[in-house]
Structure formats: C-alpha cells, structure tokens
Structure 1
Amino acid sequence: MDTTMNATKSQAAQGTSVRLGRREKFGYGAGDLASNLSWNLVGGFLLYYYTDVAGLPAAIPGTLFLVARLLDAVIDPVIGVMVDRTAGRWGKARPYLLFASVPFGVVGVLTFTVPDLGENGKLVYAFLTYLTLGLLFSLVNVPYSAMLPMMTRDPHERMQMGGLRAIGSSVGSIIVTATTTPFVAWLGSGNEQRGWTVATIVYGVLSVGFFAITFATCKERYALAADEERIGLGAALRTLWGNLPWKVTFVYGVINFVRLNLVLGVTVYFALAVLHKPWAISVLLPLVSGTMILGGVVAPPYYRKFGKRRGNLQALAVGFVLWAAMYPAEGTFPLFLALYIVATFAIGVSMVSMFTMTADTVEYQQWRFGTRNEGLLSSGISFATKVGSAVGASAVAYGLALAGYHPGDTSDAALLAIRVMFYGLPLLLLAGQAAAMLFWDLDGRHERMRDEIDRAADGEEV
C-alpha cells in the first residue's frame, strides 16, 4: 500500500460489520429499475421512433447518437468529482437521486415528442433533448453507482446488491420492451405520436417514484469526508490510470454496452424484416432482461465459487457458442428461441458482475492510493454506458443507411446488414469482453486489502 488511508477506525469497522436488510437491498435495486424505464426505452425504440415516427433519415440519428453521447460522456468524470466533494445531511450520492430524477423523467417525455418543425428543426430538437437526457442520466446514475461501495465493504454483500441491481434493471427493461409497442398503439388510438408521448409520461412518473424509494431506503455508511477527497481532477484521473482493475472494468463495460445497444437497436428490424414476426419484438427484447433476472439470482453463488475472472470467461464462452448457433437455426423459430434464451442468460450472468467490479475498484483505489473517489470511479460505468450506447446505436443507424434501408421496403443488402449486426458483430464483441477479463486480478485479494486499509486507519505500518 502506497499511502496511508485517512478514514477513521470507526468508519472502517462500521462499513465492514453492517449486514444490509432486505428493505435496503431491494430499495437499491429499485434505482436501476427507475433508470431503465427511461434509458432502455431509448436503447430499444428511439432509433425506430426517429426514423418511422418523427420521419428523420436513418443516417441522421446515427450521427446524432454518436456526437451527442460522446459530448455528453465527457461530463461524467466531472459529475463523479462533484459527488466525491458533496457534503450534506443526506450524504454524498443520495441528494442527486432526489433532485435530478424529476428533470430526468420530464426530458424523457420530451425526447419522444419531436414536434413538426421541418427536418432541420426536428434535428436540432432531437439533438438538444437527447443530449440533455444523457446529462440527466449521468446526474442520477453516477451517484447511484457510487452508493454501492459506500453501503458495504463485504464483497459477497456487494455481489448480492449487484444481483438485485441487475434484477431491477431487468424488470424495468421487461416493462418497457414487452409493453411499449402495444401500449403506444392503445394509447395513441391511431395517432402514434400521441401514443409515444402518453406512454413516456407514464414511464417517467414511475421512474421518479422508484428513485424516491432508493433515496428513502438506502444509507451511506462507508465514505471519506468530502474534504478528504479534494484532490484535483487531473491528479484524480492520474490515479485512475494506475488502477488496473478500473481500466479493465471500463474497457469491459464499453464493449458490453456497445454489444447490448447494438442488439437492442437492431432487434426491432430483425424481427420485422428477417423473421417476419412483428410480435417477436415483444418476445426477444424482454428476454434480454428476463434472463438477467435469473442471472441476478444465480450470480452471487456462481461468482463466489469461480471468482469474477474465471466465472466471466466461462459465461462469455457459453454465450458466444450459443449465439453463433442461432444463425443456422433461424428458420426453426422454437430452436432459435431456445438458443437465444440460454445465450442471453449466460451473457446476463456476465453483466451482473460488472456492477460489483466497480465497487471492487473503489476498494483497490483506497488500498493503493489512500482515497476512495467513489463518484469518479463510478462515473466510468456511466461513461461506458454512454459510449457504448453511442457506438452501438449509431452502428445500427449507419448500417441501415449504408445498406439503403427504407421503412416497409427491405432490400437484400439491408437484410444482410441486419443479419451481420444481429449475429456477427455481437460475437466479435463477446470475444473482446473475454479478452479484457483476462487482465482482472482482484479475485482472492479482498480480505488482504481490507486488513491493510484498516491497519493504516489505526496508524499501523503497512
């Protein structure tokens, strides 16, 4: 350990010994349910909304997704530092859930309500609302992610929390992906735009409510005082460069969210143009999240047995093989669906670990550099989400545009592009995630790091 930890002995002891109750654990999981009621609506349907409802050419949303998300992503480290420097009666992270959730819900509605302002006007409106939605997502999601290492230092408790977070995320995704298409049709009664506006109002109200539950039930127990985290942004970023587990988590997260958003974005077109089964949209998209619920239940004992490195490599290998097997099974939908379910389950198990990997990097940061920087480190996950969303969604839009896609008239070139984006690119990205995971080296080191942190807090030589 290079530096002496500044936290007090009582903080360390409290953070280690506290066992979280079910109410608090489920309250934490409600936060990702809240996020995904809005964010997965964007990932699964915004491209379709822009092209088929708002009437924007496919290449324009592609550029919009890429530019807006990359501009938006650079703010995440700043928000992370803001969290680290926040001090108040509600803690460092919880205030953001209270005050940013309402604007997040409102702008989610505005994003799916593009007025008829002409092509240039609609583009400007779409850019501003999409960019603002991403900023507000960071203002709730970075603090939300930062809360986990503040709540407990126990790695098994954190894995349970990560599992519940994955379950909350999945429930939100299922609600959105399974109900949105019929919900919009029912609410719109022939006016699709009205259907989208009313549906997003409902999702926005639910999102705000679930964030309020997280705020009310969760507590921050283990965190350095804000004045002890006041190092410059440049110095803080340099410590990230020396935090190998964080770099692994960041790369793993970027690749994961590129793959996830690619699959979410192309599945609507795949079901319509390749499978010729419009109803399959409300089957395939919810299964991405539904299998993650089971993954959230299985992940804690699974990773306790195998560790994050070996456990991830095994899960990704299974997902890779079964995803590749889906292509020759495409013509037999029951077999295709069975392979899809098991593949997405295996991949979902790997995604659960990512939430707790960030918490592990906070512990490493404290052991290695003497500062926790929960906000800054957690901003990496939000940054990965943004970059992954930008690259994945824009890849679908550009792929469709280059292949000459037109709504209701899918050419052979467009069909080929859709298949490549649904089958081939996700396989390459799964291989990339496995390559990143080869560098993870924290398995089995948690007790040693905690012991040395606590001894440093007591003023002992480490």
Structure 2
Amino acid sequence: MSEAPALPPVRRVGQRSTLAYGFGAAAYGVKDFGFSTFLLLFYNQVLGLPAAQVGFAIMCALILDAFIDPLIGFLSDNTRSRWGRRHPWMYAAALPIAAGWLLLWNPPELSQDAMLVWVFATSVLVRTAISAYEVPSQALTPELSADYDERTRLTAYRYLFGWAGGMVTLFVTYTWLMAGPDGQPDQLNRANYAGFALFGAAAMLLAIFTSAIGTHGEIKRLPRPEIVTKPLGTHFRELWATIRNRAFLILMLAGLCYYSAQGISFALATYLYVHVWQFDTAAFGTLALSLFLGVSGAFVIAPRVANRVGKPVAAMVFMFSAAALLATPYALRLAGLFPAPGDRVMLPLLLTLFAFNTGCGVSATMLGASMMADVVEDSEAKTGRRSEGVFFSGAFFIQKCCSGLGIFAASLILHFAGFPKGAKPGTVGVEAIDRLTLYFILAYLALGWAAALIYRFFPFGRDEHAARVAALAKGEAG
C-alpha cells in the first residue's frame, strides 16, 4: 500500500463512495427510531413497567456512554492496521449491533426489577456497539475531503440516508409489522415486536456492511498521522486540551439543547399521534412520506443556504424555524383554532407543518455536523493533532445522551400529565391530553430556541477554514 497522506485532500469525493458512506447512516436511523419512538412505550405500555422507572433505567445506561464514546473515538484515532483507522471498527461492530437489538426487544419473562436490569443491560450493549460503528464512520467526513462545501455535501447524504432508514422503518412498522386488523396500529401487542426486532437487525446489518465495503477503496487516500508513544497521563492531558476547543464546545451545547428537544418529541411521538391527532394506519403511512419529503428538502436546500450565508447563520435560522413549526399545531389546538381529528383539512395541514419542521430541523443539525468536521483543522492548528474520532465521539455522545434524556423527560411529562398506562385511543381524558400537549410544546420551544441562539456564536466560517487548511498543508501552523 502506498504511503497515506498526512492531511485529507481538498477534493470532491466520487459518487459511489459518497452513496456508500451516506447509506451507512441508515443503521443509526433504524436504531434511533426504535429507541426514541418505541422503547419507552414497549417497556411501559406493553410490558407494564412504570414509565419513570423505565426512563430512569434507560438514562442510567448513558452514564457508561460518558466513558465509552470518547474512549472509542480515542482508540479509533490511534488504530493502525492495513485497513486504516476506521474500517476495522466498522466491520467489527455489525454483528454485536444486530445481536443486541434482538435481545432488547425479546426479553424473557422476568420480575419487574430484573426487567429493569434487562433494559439497562441491553441498552448499554446496543449503544456501545452503535458507538463502535458510528463514531469511526462519522470521523470519515473530515478525512474524505478538506473542502468546506464538500463536507456539507457528504453530511447531507449521511442525513438523507439516516432519516430514510428511520422513515422506512416507521412506514414498515405501522403499515405492516404493527398493523391491526381494524385499520388501527397495534403497538400494544407484544407479539408484533419480534418481527420489528428482526427487521431492524437485518436492516442495520445491510447498511453497515454496504457502507464499510463501499468505502473500503478510500482507505489508501485517508490521512494516517504518525503515532508517537506517550505515557497514559500525557494522552489524557492532550485529550482534555482537545475537547476544550471553543468551537467544539459551542456545537456540543447547541446539540445538547436541540437533541434533548428532539428526544422528547420522538419519545412522545406515538402518544401524540395516537391520542392527540388520532392517527390510523393509513395516516402513519402518509406521515412517513411527509417526513421524508422534509428530509429531502433539507438535502437540497441546506447546502445552498449555507453556501450563501454561511453555516452558523443558516443553522441558527433553520433551528429557530424548526421549533416554531412543530409547536404551532399543538398551540393552535390548545387555543381551539386547529382543525379537529376527523376534519378533512386536519391531516394534510398537520403533515405539511411536520414536513417543514423536519426539513428545518435536519438542515440545522446537518450543518452542525458539517461544522464539526471543520473543527478538526481548527484544533489541529492549535494542538498539532488530528482528533476526528474524539470530536465525533463527543457529537455522537450528545445525540445518544439526549435521546436517553429525552426518554426520561418524556416519562416525567407523562407522569405529571396524569397519562394512564396501557391507554387505548379515545379513552384518555381531555384534561390529561391538554396537559401532555402543553408540557411538550413548552419544553420543545425552550430547548429548540436555545440551540438556535447558541449556533450563532460559532467562531469561524469559510474564509478562516480555507486559510487554515492552506497553512496546515504548508506546515505553517502548529
């Protein structure tokens, strides 16, 4: 193998590698849909465990993630093999992800306490295995190209396929795997979750192996910085210096706010769709299509807006709009101004707002991930080290952390709203539904708008990045 470059080239990545790289994110989309939408519902509504205790068990699994994700990023940065730094991890993670997923949704008959231990342990297994794939995979973004706009294009493909994985799973789940005989979704039938688990495991295996094999030819072009043997204490001091990067911390704070809002929204989604809007199976199928249309719009629009006004400003505007759009129908419903379920205008209007919300939310987070790729050279110029794995492990930890925090917060919202366990559509009192709606929109708006304001403080743009890359290529920065 020829000697690998020390820095990534400023180039446009081939379409085959781009598609394969993006397709790998479908695995996380499948996992995120399951965790965010069904995990709390399955262990609370289907198995009968208290919502707050399930949410707490899932949140506790994040304590281990606080150590595991940065460790995987660090180890990935320092891996040396004939398959480079990232691909050994990508290949090795596939089977553990599938096995953990099957165990999570097929628990044995256990006592309540033992079942809480089961959801904790299997959540840790799935999250750790996902980290072992997703952190090295995301770290490829700044390695494939140093071009400012190409990184946004690569990230756009990754978000497109990530959301496609989630939306295909949503569509298949509600229209097939959990479709009841009366045209209503049957998500409270435990037997349906065996097929759900098998479909998700197979989809994630396909996405991971397709991405790893499809990008394998890029290994010879990826940076392979020299590894210098150092004491463990030195490694920890360098890691601390790396994560103190101001641009990185801004993105982490913005991500913490938005992904918490998104986690709450996803965890409550089924409750809101079924009990507030009274969706049937056909409505869920249309929902998947409308959300994916929003993602497709983000894929086209976000890079163009960012090219015109810069990534930080674009991310701020998109994020502010996303929060406002999602809260609008719920606020109007509380005011008695939104069409009621059964009105022929209700579903098209609601799904249109959801599509625009999704497009804006995905655009903002897509640009946030692209900015994270640019932080790599900012850090290298200040520390002399490339730390792609460390930075993307931080970003990925925030996503997973907030998914768990969102589930826990959603469980508290359900508790304080007085929402009953095992509730059938049409059986929940209006007061409980109104409280659920009010608490949801207040939490979502506060977190979403906080994220929008934080994005505005990102400290550099295109010109600074280009100058930094040129200086690093000439060996002028250190």
TM-score normalised over the length of structure 1: 0.91
* Equivalent residue number for residue 247 of structure 1: 249
8 A contact 1:83–1:92 mirrored in 2: yes
Return closer, same or farther for 1:306/1:62 CA change in 2, 3 Å cut-off. same
1:113-146 Cα deviation digits (max 9, x unpaired)? 1222121221121111111111111111111111
8 A contact 1:70–1:390 mirrored in 2: no
Q: 2:376 aligns with which of 359, 362, 365?
A: 362
Q: 1:170 aligns with which of 155, 163, 186?
A: 163
Q: Secondary structure at the match of 1:206?
A: helix
* Equivalent residue number for residue 3 of structure 1: none
Q: What is the distance in 1 between the residues matched to 2:443 and 2:235?
A: 36
Task: Give the aligned residue type for 1:447.
Answer: A
* Equivalent residue number for residue 445 of structure 2: 427
How far residue 413 of structure 1 moved from its aligned partner, in angstroms, is 4.9
Q: 1:126 aligns with which of 115, 119, 135?
A: 119
* Equivalent residue number for residue 343 of structure 2: none
Segments of structure 1 that go 5 or more residues without pairing to the other structure are 1-7
Segments of structure 2 that go 5 or more residues without pairing to the other structure are 341-345
RMSD: 2.5
Return closer, same or farther for 1:69/1:241 CA change in 2, 3 Å cut-off. closer
How far residue 238 of structure 1 moved from its aligned partner, in angstroms, is 2.3
How far residue 225 of structure 1 moved from its aligned partner, in angstroms, is 2.7
How far residue 196 of structure 1 moved from its aligned partner, in angstroms, is 1.0
Task: Give the aligned residue type for 1:223.
Answer: P
- 2:82 corresponds to 1:79: no
1:215-239 Cα deviation digits (max 9, x unpaired)? 1122243424351496744223322
In the TM superposition, 1:371-390 aligns within 5 A as 371-390=385-404
Q: Secondary structure at the match of 1:74?
A: helix
8 A contact 1:170–1:293 mirrored in 2: no
Return closer, same or farther for 1:372/1:461 CA change in 2, 3 Å cut-off. closer
How far residue 420 of structure 1 moved from its aligned partner, in angstroms, is 2.6
Task: Give the aligned residue type for 2:272.
Answer: F
Q: 2:190 aligns with which of 193, 196, 199?
A: 193
Q: 2:152 aligns with which of 154, 159, 172?
A: 159
8 A contact 1:229–1:371 mirrored in 2: no
How far residue 311 of structure 1 moved from its aligned partner, in angstroms, is 0.8
Q: What is the distance in 2 between the residues matched to 1:188 and 1:335?
A: 27
Q: Secondary structure at the match of 2:380?
A: helix
* Equivalent residue number for residue 308 of structure 2: 305
Return closer, same or farther for 1:9/1:119 CA change in 2, 3 Å cut-off. closer
How far residue 308 of structure 1 moved from its aligned partner, in angstroms, is 0.9
1:151-202 Cα deviation digits (max 9, x unpaired)? 1111111111000001011110111122213333369999933321122112
* Equivalent residue number for residue 277 of structure 1: 279
Return closer, same or farther for 1:323/1:159 CA change in 2, 3 Å cut-off. same
In the TM superposition, 1:216-235 aligns within 5 A as 216-218=213-215, 219-220=218-219, 221-225=221-225, 227-228=227-228, 232-235=234-237
Return closer, same or farther for 1:185/1:436 CA change in 2, 3 Å cut-off. same
Q: Secondary structure at the match of 2:50?
A: coil
Q: Secondary structure at the match of 2:450?
A: helix
TM-score normalised over the length of structure 2: 0.88
8 A contact 1:62–1:393 mirrored in 2: yes
Q: What is the distance in 2 between the residues matched to 1:336 and 1:182?
A: 19
* Equivalent residue number for residue 331 of structure 1: 339
8 A contact 2:268–2:410 mirrored in 1: yes
Q: For this pair of structures, how many residues does the alignment match?
A: 450
How far residue 300 of structure 1 moved from its aligned partner, in angstroms, is 1.7
- 2:182 corresponds to 1:182: no
Q: What is the distance in 2 between the residues matched to 1:304 and 1:73?
A: 34
Q: What is the distance in 1 between the residues matched to 2:175 and 2:264?
A: 23
Q: Secondary structure at the match of 2:48?
A: coil
Return closer, same or farther for 1:129/1:9 CA change in 2, 3 Å cut-off. closer
* Percent of aligned positions that are identical: 22
8 A contact 1:159–1:356 mirrored in 2: yes
Task: Give the aligned residue type for 2:320.
Answer: A
Return closer, same or farther for 1:309/1:71 CA change in 2, 3 Å cut-off. same
* Equivalent residue number for residue 340 of structure 1: 354
* Equivalent residue number for residue 315 of structure 1: 318
* Equivalent residue number for residue 4 of structure 1: none
Q: 1:349 aligns with which of 363, 378, 391?
A: 363
* Equivalent residue number for residue 447 of structure 1: 466
- 2:238 corresponds to 1:236: yes
Q: What is the distance in 2 between the residues matched to 1:90 and 1:194?
A: 42
* Equivalent residue number for residue 6 of structure 2: 11
More moved, 114-123 vs 283-292: 283-292
Q: What is the distance in 1 between the residues matched to 2:477 and 2:279?
A: 66
* Equivalent residue number for residue 5 of structure 1: none
Q: What is the distance in 2 between the residues matched to 1:381 and 1:109?
A: 26
Return closer, same or farther for 1:33/1:317 CA change in 2, 3 Å cut-off. same
